[in-house]
Amino acid sequence: MKLSRLTLAIALAPCLANAADSTDVYQASPLVVTSGRQAEPVAKATAATSVFERKDIERLQVRSVAELLERVPGVNFSHTGGAGSQTGLFLRGTSTAQTLILVDGQRIASASSGTSSLEFLSPDQIERIEVVRGARSALYGSDAIGGVIQIFTRKGDGQGLKPTMRFGIGSDSTYERSLGLSGGDGQTQFNLGAALDETQGIDATRDAYGANGDEDAYRNRSLSLNVSHQFNDQVEAGFSVLDQRGQSEFDDVFGTSLPTVDFQVSSISGYLDATVNDVWSNRLEVGHSEDKRDTSNDLTNFGDSQFFTYRDSANWVNTLQLTSNQQVLLGLDWYEDRLHTDDSVDFVEDSRWNRAAFIQHRYTAEKFSTELGLRHDDNQQFGSENTWNAALTVPMNERNEVILSYSEGFRAPTFNDLYYPDFCSGGFCFASANPDLKPETSKSYEVQWRSRFGTSSELQMSLYRTDLKDAIVLDQNFIPQNTQRARINGFETSLKQEWFGWQSNLALSLIDPRDRETGHTLPRRAKRTLSLDLDRQFGDFSVGTNLRAVSGRFDDAANTIELGGYGLVDLRGSWQASREVSFDLKLNNLFDKDYSDATYSTPNGRYGYNTEGRTALFAVTWTPEI
């Protein structure tokens, strides 16, 4: 499916016309913390940043994190089935493991595979999500090549006790149940939430080989707790807990078994914020996260496995306001990964630590602003790595600015890459890992234009290039090697605009991700994506729609397996029946589009994974007053 240049012109024309006539005062943008590791208005963040708040999650009625993030320019996903299936994330053309995922500041990626289990995170427990696009290794270290996605758990608002109960029922025997209680006052806030999501699911595969004709169910139990206390004007402390666990079924594409994976994704973190004086403020964080996957087979023990990641971390970030226009950020980071597996997989090494120090300087003048940062990582396995970032912001006028930036990124090899045990059979052993691997590295160059027209209009455009070096790929003997060089050219734009009472949110991305050795397009990356949300309020009723278009892509590095493009239409509506009761209705894939964004092979041939067709979900929410 081709997205023509006319699409962009139509979308931007009314907005540009409005820019000349609008006299509205620009509304203060929400605060974000991920782009610069400190609280700042999103309009002041030098990196391209998208924010979804709790009100957005409820308005859009999303059932998964992926469904929400598909609205971010430069983001696309691959799925191996319905709810709970393995999900691949591609941010600005980078691979799934090249984007850093944080939950309340804690890394949640598996140490063995390097990927994060976004498919298991429930929107019920999420307060907000910040998506930073572009490399941020100068602040975060490993994995932040494509960007950083940080998820924050639900918080209380300090307005007294507020209980919430929600029940949803939908297609494929889907049931959603959640309970929540938030409360507090001016000093202390808390939120406690629990949810149970279940669905009979869909058949993930298209062939009838073996037991592939069954439906793949999914069950997720989630719990979150967030508490904060303001001791005085200078000191605040808090902690948060998130626990997601359940079971996901998937198809055995080579046999007749009915395999399942029992999963757990959890994190616990605590922080202490202290303002020492007018110049120095600092934040200390400690945390622990776990990613557990226990795969089992109903017929035999073949294919059974356990991969459990345990991670401890601590960081200390200091902000020094040297003058009214100069600021220095100083920080120390430490984390340690430990991997536990079953007896059948004995890794050569099962733990490693990483420690780092970083500094970033910001200067603000009347006609320009600058940002310059450096980070040094010291890793137990590969030694040290230095990364830089720099940005220059030039305001054109009070509504328009241009940002020029350079950023570096790197990704450390995973435990699978480095330490996976040799495969032995018949007295012969074959290597499965490469302990001599170096980190993957990247250099990115970007120019952004940001324009704010009024309280209801905002435009962002980015043109960027990313050069990847020493990317890890498997050679002909299936041994990982630092052999791939790639370059990614991209353009993206996002637009928020009100049209005759309708609020629109447009995200458009055009990318060209190429392997520089072969000239082939990197697999599973869609070159063109478009997302458009339209919403309107009619008194106690609200209606909305999402239009999403994704171009074709290749499913293999040789570009011989092509996946077709597709377009999807979703509808949603809600009714605030009273102060305490509301009803929601969501229709996904209204026209029952049949599409695939990943493939698999069986002895009978290669097929595309099924994705969900037309689905409906009806929900009622009760927020009794106390």
Each residue of 148-196: pLDDT tens digit?
999 999 999 878 899 999 999 999 999 999 999 999 998 999 999 999 9
Q: What's the first-to-final CA gap in the chain, in angstroms?
A: 52
What is the structure's pLDDT at 299?
A: 60
**CB of 340 closer than 8 Å to CB of 314:** no
Average pLDDT score, the chain: 92
What is the structure's pLDDT at 24?
A: 39
Q: Say if 97 falls within a structural domain.
A: yes
Query: 3-class DSSP state for residue 431?
Result: coil
Q: Say if 11 falls within a structural domain.
A: yes
Residue reference for tokens 């995922």:
101
Q: Which residue has the higher pLDDT, 27 or 210?
A: 210
pLDDT, tens digit (0-9, with 9 covering 90-100), for 498-513: 988 999 999 999 999 9
**Mean pLDDT value across residues 407-423:** 94
What is the structure's pLDDT at 321?
A: 96
What is the structure's pLDDT at 118?
A: 95
Q: Which residue has the higher pLDDT, 346 or 275?
A: 275
**CB of 457 closer than 8 Å to CB of 22:** yes
Q: Of 588, 623, 600, 475, nearest to 172 (Cα)? A: 588
Token pair belonging to 406: 């350079």
pLDDT, tens digit (0-9, with 9 covering 90-100), for 233-288: 999 999 999 999 999 999 887 777 888 999 999 999 999 999 999 999 999 999 99
Q: For 199-241, where are the alpha helices, taking DSSP H only?
A: none
**Mean pLDDT value across residues 603-619:** 93
Query: Over 60: is that where the pLDDT of 16 sits?
Result: no
pLDDT, tens digit (0-9, with 9 covering 90-100), for 548-604: 999 999 999 999 999 999 999 999 999 999 999 999 999 999 999 999 999 998 888
The DSSP code sequence of 307-325 is EEEEEEEEEEEEEEEEETT
Q: Which own/partner contact pairs does 465-468 have at CB distance under 8 Å and 24+ positions apart?
A: 465/489, 465/490, 466/92, 466/93, 466/94, 466/135, 466/145, 466/442, 466/490, 467/442, 467/443, 468/94, 468/145, 468/440, 468/441, 468/442
Query: Over 70: is that where the pLDDT of 457 sits?
Result: yes
What pTM was computed for the model?
0.94
Query: Over 90: is that where the pLDDT of 424 sits?
Result: no
pLDDT, tens digit (0-9, with 9 covering 90-100), for 365-411: 999 999 999 999 999 988 899 999 999 999 999 899 999 999 999 99
Q: Say if 286 falls within a structural domain.
A: yes
Confidence of residue 422 (pLDDT cuts 50, 70, 90): confident
What is the structure's pLDDT at 300?
A: 57
What's CA 618's distance to the chain center, in Å? 26
Measured in residues, the chain has a length of: 626
Around Cβ 24, how many Cβ atoms within 10 Å? 12
Q: Say if 494 falls within a structural domain.
A: yes
What is the structure's pLDDT at 161?
A: 92
**Mean pLDDT value across residues 12-30:** 44
pLDDT, tens digit (0-9, with 9 covering 90-100), for 64-75: 999 999 999 999
Task: Give CA–CA dist 77/566, Å, rounded.
Answer: 13
What is the structure's pLDDT at 377?
A: 98
Confidence of residue 429 (pLDDT cuts 50, 70, 90): confident
The DSSP code sequence of 545-604 is EEEEEE--EESSTTS-SEE--EEEEEEEEEEE-SSSEEEEEEEESTT-----S-EEEETT
User: Residue 550 maps to which CATH number?
Assistant: 2.40.170.20
Q: Say if 626 falls within a structural domain.
A: no
Q: Say if 588 falls within a structural domain.
A: yes
Q: CA geometry: angle at 282 spanning 281 and 284, to 5°? A: 160
Query: 3-class DSSP state for residue 98?
Result: helix
Confidence of residue 301 (pLDDT cuts 50, 70, 90): low
Query: Over 80: is that where the pLDDT of 7 sits?
Result: no
Token pair belonging to 541: 């009723």
What is the structure's pLDDT at 146?
A: 97
Structure letter (DSSP) for residue 215: -
Residues 6+ apart with CB under 8 A from 334: 313, 314, 315, 353, 354, 355, 356
Query: Over 50: is that where the pLDDT of 22 sits?
Result: no
Task: Give CA–CA dist 81/156, Å, rounded.
Answer: 35
Q: What residues make up the domain containing 113?
A: 5-620
Task: Give CA–CA dist 177/603, Å, rounded.
Answer: 41
What is the structure's pLDDT at 29?
A: 67
Task: Give CA–CA dist 524/520, Å, rounded.
Answer: 12
Q: Say if 395 falls within a structural domain.
A: yes
Q: Say if 625 falls within a structural domain.
A: no
**CB of 457 closer than 8 Å to CB of 450:** no
What's the structural domain count of the chain? Answer: 1
What's CA 595's distance to the chain center, in Å? 23
Query: Over 90: is that where the pLDDT of 12 sits?
Result: no
What is the structure's pLDDT at 18?
A: 42
What helix, strand, coil percent values describe the chain, rounded to 5? 10, 55, 35
Query: Over 80: is that where the pLDDT of 83 sits?
Result: yes
